[in-house]
Amino acid sequence: MNTQIATNQPQLNSVPSTETQQAPDSLPIDDSNRCQHRFSNRTRCRKLVSHPNPRFCPRHAALPENMQPADLTPELIQDPKQLDRLDGIYDFLAKLIILQAQNRISTRRAAVLAYITNQLLRTFAAIKRVQAEQAAEVPQTIFDVPRHQDD
């Protein structure tokens, strides 16, 4: 009688077989209709997207960071080559401040873009420093003409 009870109880030290670990054959999950909001623990919202907003459920579509347009490039800068000059970066930052004041861009996104422009400004300073060092290293040509000797 004791042997029968011991065989029916699961063993604690046994490793489950690969058959029990594998998931049954199922259809792939269609994530295209799910809300794309990510929580702080990196999990994704399970609700379905709303018709007015194809990316978020009605609750997460109302969040300020999700209400902004995905691409603000045309409003911030028309030509990326403008960022090669200090005036272009100044204009970019001025437009960024206006968008943030109008609440059309989140504070977090504005901070990231301002940080990137700060890196550009530091790069400009480094380039000027290297150019100044290279200009100082250019050898100077000195013309030494022999004098006419009086005999």
Please give the chain's pLDDT, 151 residues, in tens.
455 554 555 454 444 444 444 444 444 556 778 888 888 998 999 998 877 777 888 888 888 777 766 677 778 888 878 888 888 888 999 999 998 888 778 788 889 999 999 998 899 888 888 888 888 876 767 777 777 777 6
pLDDT score, position 138: 67
Indicate the number of domains in the chain.
2
* Domain identity same for 33 and 81: no
Choose the final residue of a domain: 44, 64, 84.
64
In a domain, 5, yes or no: no
* Domain identity same for 72 and 51: no
In a domain, 112, yes or no: yes
* Domain identity same for 74 and 111: yes
Choose the final residue of a domain: 8, 41, 64.
64
* Domain identity same for 35 and 48: yes
* Domain identity same for 55 and 75: no
Choose the final residue of a domain: 48, 64, 80.
64
Residue 48's SS3 state is strand
Residues 6+ apart with CB under 8 A from 49: 33, 34, 35, 36, 55, 56, 57
Residue 72's domain comprises 68-137
Residues 6+ apart with CB under 8 A from 78: none
